[in-house]
Amino acid sequence: MAAKAKYTYEDYLNTPEGERYELLDGELYAKYGVEEYWIADPVHKMVSVMLLRDGVLELAGTYVEGNTVASTALEGFSVGVGEIF
């Protein structure tokens, strides 16, 4: 059995046309055990956090400027949304 990946993906998801994607390769990330996936949206200045639950990545929360996002995969790591953008 392959070891589970335990790290965070931070993806910038806006296309030049301004389209917004909710999840990139979520099924693939879940298949390989990515426990936490961050979607950073620079246009709307928000971060959505997906967590792996029962083999599926689910939305755990959406954070905007003024909020602090804490990682469940990286112990002790947190960042203010304003610091990302």
Residue type at 40 in one-letter notation: A
Its pTM stands at 0.70
pLDDT in the model for residue 82: 95
Helices (H) and strands (E) in the chain, counts: 2, 6
pLDDT exceeds cutoff 50 at 2: no
Tens digit of pLDDT for each residue in 20-50? 444 456 777 888 898 998 888 888 888 989 8
Give residue limits of the domains in the chain: 8-84
> 12 has which bridge partners?
40
Would you give the distance in Å from CA 9 to the centre of its chain? 6
pLDDT in the model for residue 29: 82
Would you give the distance in Å from CA 77 to the centre of its chain? 14
pLDDT exceeds cutoff 90 at 4: no
Asked whether the beta carbons of 57 and 30 are under 8 A apart, the reply is yes
pLDDT exceeds cutoff 90 at 77: yes
